[in-house]
Chain A
Amino acid sequence: MSNAVATWQGYLRADGRKGIRNLALVIYTVKCAQHVAHAIAAGEPDTHVLGFSGCYDNAYAIRLMLALARHPNVGAVLSVGLGCEYTQPERISEAVRKSGRPAEGFFIQDAGGTGRSIAKGKESLARLRAQARAGARRVPMGLADLTVGCECGGSDGTSGLAGNPVVGAFFDLLVDGGGCAVFEETVELIGLREVLLARAASGAVRAELAAAYDKAVEYCRSVRQYSASPGNFAGGLTTIEEKSLGALAKSGARPIQGVLKVAEPPRGPGLWLLDSVPDPHFMQFGYTNPNDSEGIMDLMAAGAQVVLFVTGRGSVIGSPIAPLVKITGNAQTFRRMQEDMDFDASRVLTGERTLEQAAGELRDLVARVAAGRPSKPESLGHREYFIMYKHQDPPSRAAGCRD
């Protein structure tokens, strides 16, 4: 493990944040435009796609999409709609342009159908990508410029023993180095109210954590579903409390600086808890975290340039925008799914590495990915995304709407 402080060349954005990639993003504003959006992006380098399925718009989903469109790793945005839906591509373009990024948008109905829209979109994309390349300002970057998110999925009995503790020890290094660490899944803190509150950086944060915890417990109770899957139980986890203790291990040991709502960036360096649970609303929008991709979107919307994903059972998903780095604490999973796994944390269980050594190696890996080396899911082309209908009261601060 090297003790040298890694630096690399990043991309400075107009809002002062720094990205580790300079991507073009194609956004579709309704399910009906999904095929055209993917066809526009097909074969185009450094171009990712995400979108929202619903015809009716949703304030939460728009805040989330705008936070992703103005993510530090994104240099240009093309928005494509069908023409009937509520969500407006041109409004997205306007908001993105105000952030200093080139952006265009159009409706498929106006362009004259599928073929013309794909051709028009590819022309537009070529123009936007050229502008993003020309406008890129390269600057040195280090750990202190990083926001790193972490989520676990496909957890088993090793996740809380090895995978999540290694991430926790890395998060401590990141926080001590001046960076931002964001963990989420308040629905995976069930039964740990006092353990969580003891981590608060101040009395005010303690109250924020208590409110987020109580909301998560009440939400799970009301929808009659806790955040545990058949794979978790097959992997040896018996209760949501047990899963939660393993999940909390990924937060490390530093004080929690506060609770973030979705699309709200951290208000300073340090460790932050992301609350993605719906707030009370006349429409109950269902499960808070229907799949792992949904949570990854939330971490990216907080500005995470890299997201760590801890999996015991072996997940293969990736993400657009921010590289996903796969960590497993299960030696069998690492061997069986090596093409998908970036980091073998099981070595802390066999005694081949101490927790500190493994955390240092993970830090070096994150720095290499930040410097441009593709993560395993990134190089395999995994770009799963998921934006759902949900309600959260808008963040009190101007986050997600800095226009």
Chain B
Amino acid sequence: MKQTSKKSTWMTLLFVAALLAVVVILENVLDPNKNIMVFTALKKGAVYALVAVSMNLLNGFTGLFSLGQAGFMLLGAYTYAIMTIPAAQRDAVYYIYNGSAINFSLPELFGGGPVGLVLGVIAALILGGCVAAVVAWLIGLPVLRLKSDYLAIATLGFGEIIRAVFQWDKLGPVTNGANALKSFPTFSNFNIQNAGGETVLRLSTFMAFLLAGVCIAVIVLLINSTYGRAFKAIRDDEVAAEAMGINLSRHKRLAFVISSFFAGVGGGMFAMFANQAQAKTFTTAMTYEILLIVVIGGIGSVSGSCIAAFLYVAASEWWLRFLDAETFIGGVKVPLLRNGFRMVVFSVVIMIVVLFFRKGIMGDKELPDRFNRRRKEGAAK
């Protein structure tokens, strides 16, 4: 048993390494200017995969139905943006408020250049996660005492409150009010350029995958630890878990804080993807989107969430685009196709999944489990 699990760990690592290699190759072989959709979908998919896994940790593994994900992402995104906007750009970004209250940027503090960029970005992302985690700890004190749907509504409400606070005029010098924060380092800053300004090695999509991959790996390690087993016990039966000596409030808070931490990191990465951070992006609709990804992938499956995130993003941003365009076949206009039809088709598909394929793509199994079972079935024959 131990050997097979060790083997599957190696297989997983190998698979992830291969995936990263493919991403690097793909990005440098295909021309990103001609295949914008592919790389947009890949980057956004990586970000959503991380956020979906962090939500899955809470909803699928601990059984706490929380809808505050967008709020925590907002915290992460703003922290990241505020910490990394170059000092020289600050006056231009905060022009309405006559400059920013914070006048340093982490990449420059770390000495600028490529090293400073990498260190500064990572530090800012972690800081964003920490801010989200601290806020989650504070929110968790009262809110985690609530049961299922009340918890959902309270966290949903928290998301709304956060959004209002960040759009408040009085905080303008820090948050730039209702305006977007921009000019901070994004994924494309990681493309390596030679002295002449030509891009030699494109690493932007690779960075998105690497960051998301590391975070997801940490979450997987956590799920497989004693803490993870305690989370699952709480999900399956709270009373029984308590009777077995699991400290309910401590573990619930832990799950909530860790999930929010990674949602915060994911939020920072979303800002990197979108090239801007604006409070009005992080709406309840975004939380719903992530929740639907978790459901499609299978509640309680990390690999399911990852696969579903890419499918969801690719379908909504790329494959179904044609539904939005008015199309003529042989001079006859195809009925129904016009702006907005894509999302209608999409939500119908989601309803079908929710109603008839309740287990989602993976159920509560992981990808390696699937292969193992198939191999065992093959051996039995």
A binds B: no
Interface residues of A (CB under 8 A from B): none
